[in-house]
Structure formats: C-alpha cells, structure tokens
Amino acid sequence: MKDIIKKAEILVEALPYIQALNGKTVVIKYGGNAMINEELKNYVMEDITLLKYIGVNPVIVHGGGPDITNTLKKLNIESEFVHGLRKTDAATMGVAQMVLIGKTNKEIVSLLNQKGGKAIGISGIDDNMIECEKLTKLDNGQEADLGFVGNIININPHVLNFLASGDYIPVVSPIGVDKNGQSYNINADTVAGELATALKAEKLILLTDVEGVKSSNEDEKISAALTVDEVYSLINENVISGGMIPKVLGCVQALHNGVRRTHIIDGRIPHCLLLEIFTNKGIGTMIVKEKVRYYNNENL
C-alpha cells in the first residue's frame, strides 16, 4: 500500500507543472548517448509521447554526428572539426543531408509512432523553415571557412506551429537553406535555441551526456537552478568551460528572446525529461533570467 500511495504522491507533485505547461510548446534538443543507447532511446520516446498526451506540445530537434561520422568513414571521407563544428565540403554536405533527413530523422519518427505518438519528420528546407547563409565567423569572432556550415538568419515557424498545436510531434533535422536553394549543415543546439525563440516556447531542453552545470571547480555538486548573471560569473571563473559554454550561452540567448525556462539535463538517466519537467527537485540544471516560481512551494 505504501508503494501505491507513493505513486499517487508523485502524480500530485506533477500536477502544478502539468497545469503550467498545458498548451505550451517545449523544444527538446535530442542528442548524445540518448540517441545511441537503445534502452535510453525508448525512455526518451516514451517521455515525449506522454508529454503530448497530457497537453504539452513537444518539438524535437535532433543531432546525428556519430551517424554522419560512421557513414563518412565507410565512404573514406575524413571528418574534420573546428571549434566543435564539422568542416563540411560538398561531399560531406551530401552525406550529412542524406543521414540526418533520410536516416536519423525517420528512425526517431518511427520510434515515436511506435509509442503511440503522431510524429512527422521535417527539415529546415521544408517551407524554407530555416533560412541561412554561409557561416563565416565562429562564436569567438574568429573568421573561418567551414564550407557548407550555415548561419541562421531567419526562422519561418508556420509549419511547426501548425503541427505542434495540433495532434502532431514535429521532428526537425538541422539542415537549413539559403536564398539560392543551397543546403547547409547547422549545429543542432543552435537550431533548437532559434526554434524555441521563433515558437515562443515555454521551455528549451538540451539533452547532454553530463549531469548539468557544476556550482564550482572545488565542488562537484550540480546547480539545480542558475540565473543568467550566475552563468556569466561561472564562465568568468572558468567553472563553465569548453563545450558547455556554447550550450549555456544558447540557453541565455533563448531566455533573452522570450523563452521562459531552459534546461541542460543528462540524457543518460532513464526518463530524464519527466524527472526534470515534472518533479520539484529535477535532475539537471535549469537556467532562467530570474527565479520565478510556477507555484508557491516550488523549490528554486
């Protein structure tokens, strides 16, 4: 009986979050180990399908780096990265588009449909959804020629709004297109942040292979919630470094553009999305402009 009561308590704990998110859009960047491990894949798909059934509108943006690298190896094409971005010549662009749109995207759509969702796969090429130009500068301002790597200049969210507000779960491949119809490969974290802004999403969630953002270099403890000011302080103190910097700055940018809450969570944890979204404690790091509660007793 105690176990049954405990389950009821968990459902009640989720109630204020379900109420706060009903009818709202949540953009989820799906990547890391959760895309590779078959068991974790199933957990994530179950979480996303449940979100849709309880009235949340999830929009999925996926990566696919390992799939692209493996395919390039089979074709004897070398992979080269500059500041975490894949250098993309014409041959690599063809492979990236084929893998992301034709393989990875459709596998995710199929898995969601198996769980009872109504998933539809699209890319930034469809309806010119992600308009871009050639990327010429890195985040640090350094000039670079990475080939067919895109810089987003505009998002046309009409198709996504139509799908997400209806019965469907959109699954987006991070391929954009320029005014001449040329396709470009775009970092999936960047696409997720820009889509969250364009869709006026309530949340942006990045699935990663780390527990979250550390509170200090001396302490391995993960910060449950950080404000934008605290994020900048941790960057200056070199607590946030390396590949985590673009992730947190992407969250900060989304917050400045109207997204209410952003999250960096560990996709290696079973049912990570449900644990972060619907429990008071959460499992990763939430980044917000200011710590405003969804309900009076929320622990921030």
Query: What are the pLDDT digits (tens) for 200-246?
Result: 999 999 998 888 888 776 667 888 899 999 999 998 888 888 778 88
pLDDT in the model for residue 269: 93
The pLDDT value recorded for residue 286 is 93
First-to-last CA distance in the chain?
31
The band of 11, judged by pLDDT with boundaries at 50, 70 and 90, is confident
Report whether pLDDT(42) > 70: yes
Q: 3-class secondary structure for 59-84?
A: EEEECCHHHHHHHHHHCCCCCCEECC
Tokens of 121: 């796969």
Determine the pLDDT at residue 64: 87
Q: Domains in the chain, start-ordered, CATH in brackets? A: 12-288 (3.40.1160.10)
**Mean pLDDT across the stretch 36-51?**
93
Portion of the chain with pLDDT greater than 70, in percent:
98
- Mapped to the 3 state alphabet, what secondary structure does 20-60 carry? HHCCCEEEEEECHHHHCCHHHHHHHHHHHHHHHHCCCEEEE
Looking at the chain, the whole-number percentage of residues with pLDDT higher than 90 is 63
Average pLDDT on 177-192 reads 94
Q: What pLDDT, on a 0 to 100 scale, did the predictor assign at position 218?
A: 67
Could you give the CA distance from residue 11 to residue 31 in angstroms, rounded to a whole number? 28
Q: Which among 138, 135, 164, 129 has a CA at the least distance from the CA of 151?
A: 135
Least confident residue range of 77-81, 91-95, 167-171, 193-197: 77-81
Q: What is the mean pLDDT of residues 121-143?
A: 89
What mean pLDDT do residues 105-116 have?
96
Do 123 and 175 contact (CB within 8 A), yes or no?
yes
- Residue 145's pLDDT band (cuts 50, 70, 90): confident
Q: Which of 74-78, 155-159, 211-215, 291-295 has the highest mean pLDDT?
A: 155-159
Supply the pLDDT for residue 282.
82
As a whole number, the mean pLDDT across the chain is: 90
Q: Look at residue 91 and tell me whether its pLDDT is greater than 90.
A: yes
Residue range 247-256: mean pLDDT, rounded: 91
